[in-house]
């Protein structure tokens, strides 16, 4: 056996030992699914390549202010299992692979309703939005306030269909349609 084969075998044993002592295989599968779904691993990567998984875990850990060990520990699993939006995390695809974008320092956010749904009264819409933003305030360091005129950090409008954007509405019980700013930059509308 040549020295390259011995090195590769040792590396594989070390990496395998790291995962076997920290996380059972079911949790590893759960983590791989999460990392793929939320943009930490590219589609072209082999989801069974332990080096890619370790690198993706380190990026996830850095993005969530955890020690970037690359190990699937309880703290990492706890963050992965926390409630969250279904949209991928905001990595800048045009720059270096896995580069995490900078933080948004603003904590007190405003929102404005630009158009209304015919399915609910305005008070029902406002109540639902207040409840949703209250939830986000409970699990983040953010606060939200409605403004009725002028600029707002979050602009909300209701639409029945948009044929211009290639991303479909997910439908009941699934992820809300993502922001045009994130997905359909060519379509001139705030959120749909």
Q: Token pair for residue 89?
A: 């995390």
pLDDT of residue 62: 86
Tell whether the model's pLDDT for residue 119 goes beyond 60: yes
Cα separation of 162 and 68, whole Å?
A: 41
- Residue spans of beta strands (DSSP E) within 27-86: none
pTM comes to: 0.43
pLDDT tens for each residue of 24-52: 678 888 998 898 888 887 665 566 778 88
**Structure-model confidence comparison of residues 45 and 85, the more confident one:** 85
Q: Which residues are annotated as a binding site for Zn(2+)?
A: 85
Q: Which residues are annotated as a binding site for Ca(2+)?
A: 119, 153, 170-171
Burial zone of 112 (CB within 10 Å; 0-12 exposed, 13-18 middle, 19+ buried): middle
Tell whether the model's pLDDT for residue 177 goes beyond 60: no
Contact 154, 191 (CB under 8 A): yes
Confidence of residue 23 (pLDDT cuts 50, 70, 90): low
In CATH terms, the fold of domain 108-183 is Collagenase (Catalytic Domain) (3.40.390)
Q: Give domain limits for the chain.
A: 3-80, 108-183
Cα separation of 94 and 101, whole Å?
A: 12
Per CATH, domain 3-80 is 2.30.30: no
Q: Which residues are annotated as a binding site?
A: 85, 119, 153, 170-171
């Amino acid at each position: 056996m040549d020295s390259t084969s011995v090195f590769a075998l040792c590396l594989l044993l070390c990496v395998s030992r790291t995962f076997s002592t920290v996380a059972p295989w079911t949790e590893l599968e759960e983590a791989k699914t999460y990392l793929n779904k939320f943009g930490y691993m590219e589609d072209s990567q082999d989801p069974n390549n332990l080096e890619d998984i370790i690198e993706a875990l380190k990026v996830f850990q850095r993005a969530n202010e955890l020690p970037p060990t690359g190990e699937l520990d309880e703290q990492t699993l706890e963050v992965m299992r926390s409630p969250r939006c279904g949209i991928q995390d905001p990595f800048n695809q045009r720059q270096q692979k896995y580069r995490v974008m900078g933080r948004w320092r603003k904590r007190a956010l405003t929102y404005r309703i630009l158009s209304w749904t015919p399915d609910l009264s305005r008070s029902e819409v406002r109540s639902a939005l207040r409840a949703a933003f209250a939830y986000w305030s409970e699990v983040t360091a953010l606060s939200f306030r409605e403004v009725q005129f002028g600029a707002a950090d979050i602009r909300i409008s209701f639409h029945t269909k948009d044929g211009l954007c290639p991303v479909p509405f997910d439908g009941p019980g699934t992820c809300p349609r993502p922001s045009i700013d994130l997905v359909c930059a060519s379509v001139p509308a705030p959120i749909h």
